[in-house]
Structure 1
Amino acid sequence: MKVLISVDMEGISGVVHPAETNPDRYDYERGRALMTAEANAVIAGVLDAEPDAVVWVADAHGPFRNIDPEKLDRRARLVRGKPRPQGMLGALDDHTDAALFIGYHARAGGGPAVLAHTMSGDILDVRVNGRSMGEIGLNAAMAGHLGVPVVMLSGDDTACAELGELVPSAVTVAVKQALGQAAAIALHPGEARERLRRAAAEAITGRARVTPLSIAGPIDVEVDLYSPITVDLATLVPGVSRAAGGRTVTFTAADFAGAYRLVLLLVQLATIKPA
């Protein structure tokens, strides 16, 4: 069987501040080490349950170059770097049997939640058929489009609740309790890793009980953008329109894969600043 572990950083135990998640900040190396260690715990749990599984780990934070390749469990394959077709779900395909989201965070506006946002600080909200979705929902629906169930998520308690509303039968592990955007009560990293390993084994063993999150097309999407410049750029994309109010763009995609790719493009357009 093939298993994809998508690993973000904001939901890792002990991580609460941007200084721990930004490669240019002083405490990043600690955050990177904690992220790599939690990935290893989950790899071990997956292989406890299915020793012959092929495990892919997608580095899914920021530049997608955070997990230390030399310290990652050598039994896994690491997907790193960007841009790539599936974004945070690099290497996901319809041959994947299960996906696990590790170190994930809640959507923008979903607080109290640690380091909550949606894709970037330039995206204020994404609504799919009228429902607000962050990275958890968007990635779970993209996996579901390919028939892949999301069987486990770890992060703070708010992130766990977010997946619970979408995929009630998935296993969740709250490695910290959110007190705010940059504060939490966290498990000791060693305790978090032990729980993650047990939970990963449980999730893989019970994967047949989890139904993939499937959203049938056509898909109506609204994206609230921080910068008016990004709105201007977005309207240059065929099919994208400016909504009333000047900060929201809308489009309709034939299926969720098309919607997902266009949201990823909008995230990249938001990085372009006026000359």
Structure 2
Amino acid sequence: MKVYISADIEGITGVTSWSETDKGNADHSSLVKQMEEEVNAACRGALKAGAEEILIKDAHDSGRNIDPAVLPRNTKLIRGWSGHPFSMVQELDESFDALMFIGYHSRSGSGANPLSHTMNAHAINYIKINGTYASEFLIHAYAAATVDVPVVFVSGDKGLCEEINKFNENISTFAVKEGVGNSTIGINSNLAAQLTEEKVEEALKGNLSLCKIKLPDSFEVEISYVNHIKAYKASFYPGVKQISPTNIVYKSRSYFDVLCMISFLV
């Protein structure tokens, strides 16, 4: 079995403030250790379920948060950003049996996490795909669908888990925290790792085909920018139409083309 893990930090238990997510700040170090613990736990669960290869994408900010030395020997870690449109699932292809998201968070505009955002926390009000507010999970779950890889497990905040349960109830989810206003209520750090390991093993031993996601036949993507200048500039991208001072729309039948557009405009 070959497994892919994409890891973010805003959905890790205990992480509450933007300063805790920034590699340059002192309070980042203790929280990134918890990120490493939850990723490690997912690896242990995958190995118990029979995984022979595990590829991990450090998908937060600079992509240089996880220390490779703390990971199991039979894993590979992607650090930094290649620029490929698959972004947070870079190098995912048809050879993988399963995809998992660790430490993911609610979409921009959601009140489920004080760190809720979609792709660019400072520039984007929201992204909609076919009228649905898109989280980073949804954007990359659709990317997985283009290469026929099922999403089997997601950990993160309660709001995201509830969104995923409505999207596909067969995907195993684990809420390690809940956002209340500008605060979070997180479970014990050791318990988060323990249960992640157990739930990942269980998920990978299940019927993975039930976790596959069907792509829509076509896509209409709306991006709302904080700054109207960005919307104006984005309007010159081929196929983009500006519909308000801050909003643009892009339509395509190819999701890879959608990912390319997001890569350039977000």
Relative to the length of structure 1, the TM-score reads: 0.92
Distance 1:162 1:140 in 2: 13
Match of 1:171 in 2: 172
The worse-fitting range, judged by mean Cα deviation, of 209-218 and 5-14 is: 209-218
Secondary structure in structure 1 of the residue aligned to 2:173: strand
Instruction: Give 1:114 shift.
Output: 3.8
Residue 206, structure 1, aligned to residue 185, structure 2: no
Correspondence for 2:257 = 258
CA contact (8 A) 2:112 2:158 kept: no
Q: What is the aligned partner in structure 2 of residue 64 from structure 1?
A: 63
Query: Which consecutive residues of structure 2, in runs of 5 or more, have no partner in the other structure?
Result: none
Is the CA contact 1:137–1:166 (under 8 Å) kept in the aligned structure 2?
no
Structure 2 residue identity aligned to 1:183: S
The Cα of 1:207 is off from its aligned counterpart by 4.0
Task: Give the conservation status (yes or no) of the 8 Å contact 1:112–1:158.
Answer: yes
Matches within 5 A, 1:219-234: 219-234=219-234
In the alignment, structure 1 residue 94 sits paired with structure 2 residue 89:
no
Task: Tell me, yes or no, if the aligned pair for 1:155 and 1:176 is still in contact at 8 Å.
Answer: yes
Amino acid at match of 2:252: A
- 1:158 counterpart = 2:148: no
One-letter code of the match for 1:220? E
Q: Which amino acid aligns with 1:58?
A: K
What is aligned with 1:24? 24
Structural mapping, 1:3-82, within 5 Å: 3-51=3-51, 53-82=52-81
SS at match of 1:124: strand
Contact 2:232 2:245 in 1 (8 A): no
Across the aligned residues of Structure 1 and Structure 2, the Cα RMSD in angstroms comes to: 1.4
* Structure 1 unaligned regions, length at least 5: 268-275
Give the secondary structure class of the aligned counterpart of 1:38: helix
SS of the equivalent of 1:202 reads helix
1: CA distance, partners of 2:14 / 2:263: 28
TM-score by length of 2: 0.94
Q: Aligned partner of 1:113: which letter?
A: N
Which is worse superposed, 223-232 or 213-222?
213-222
Whether the 8 Å CA contact 2:111–2:180 is kept in 1: the answer is no
Q: Contact 2:228–2:245 at 8 Å: present in 1 too?
A: yes
Question: 1:209 deviation in Å?
Answer: 4.8
Structure 2 partner of 1:218? 218
Please say if 1:147 is aligned against 2:170: no
Of all paired residues, the percent bearing the same amino acid is 32
Q: In the alignment, residue 222 of structure 2 is paired with which amino acid?
A: E
1:98 and 1:207 in contact (8 A); partners too: no
Question: What's the offset of the Cα at 1:208?
Answer: 2.4
Q: Secondary structure in 2 aligned to 1:55?
A: strand
